[in-house]
Amino acid sequence: MTKSRIMKSALSTDDVNWLIKTFNESEDRIYNETSYTSWLDIEHNDLIKNWIADKLEFFSAEQINTGFIYEMNTAYMPHCDGTKDGQLQLNIPLERSYEEKQELVIFEQTTKVGPITWIDAYYPKRDEKTSGLNNLFYGPILPYQVNNHTLQHIDIDFYRNHLMRSPEIYWGLTPETVFEQIPGDVLVFDPNAVHCTGSMPKNQNKLGMVVRIDELPQ
């Protein structure tokens, strides 16, 4: 699997606005009261699948395995999304309600145990429902769960600059990429890699899109 890469200015402002408008006007948005305040599944939405494949050009709509546009108001915990080897995942930031920069952190460690979210002990109980797609595990991340676990604590300077959950949960991790979520830029990464939202102000919203694509033919 390739390492992460960032496609600068892959989408124009008009493109980003089209996705935001499509999301806001859709009657298929699903609401809940957990990490994702609402989302719109694109797995069966041929309009959006064809549109994004046409814009980004390096995959076809048929290769889209799953995806959604999401609105969230809390930093998502470290997790892996991969369901099988050879997939790529896109992170497409769209809009946020705050001025501070927003980052997504990708770690070098990849899952051994399938989709999983690690929750720290301080997380509100009601948010356990965030499982949505993933199995839940109460942190810290354990050596048998990921490849290349370091048996060391997360670098404390990196933690202070980029992360916000309790530091213990990141045990054994080393950062691979910090993606500054600028609308228009697109991150391509391995969904088997552990990743999480960077520091995020409380009670604010951000909008983004996730697309998972099956491996491209060689």
Q: Which residues bind Fe ion (CB under 5 A)?
A: 81
Residue 15 or 190: which CB sits closer to Fe ion?
190
Residue number with the shortest CB distance to Fe ion?
81
Q: Find the shortest distance in angstroms from Cβ 14 to Fe ion.
A: 27
Alpha carbons 117 and 132: distance in angstroms, whole number: 10
Residue 15 or 81: which CB sits closer to Fe ion?
81
Helix, strand, coil shares of the chain, percent, nearest 5, are 20, 35, 45
Residue 2 or 218: which CB sits closer to Fe ion?
2
Residue 63 or 89: which CB sits closer to Fe ion?
89
Q: Find the shortest distance in angstroms from Cβ 22 to Fe ion.
A: 21
Question: Tokens 């124009």 sit at which residue?
Answer: 12
Alpha carbons 197 and 41: distance in angstroms, whole number: 20
Q: Find the shortest distance in angstroms from Cβ 117 to Fe ion.
A: 9
Q: How many CB atoms lie within 10 A of CB 104?
A: 22
Residue 95: C-alpha distances to residues 11, 24, 143, 198 (Å):
13, 12, 36, 16
Q: Find the shortest distance in angstroms from Cβ 93 to Fe ion.
A: 13
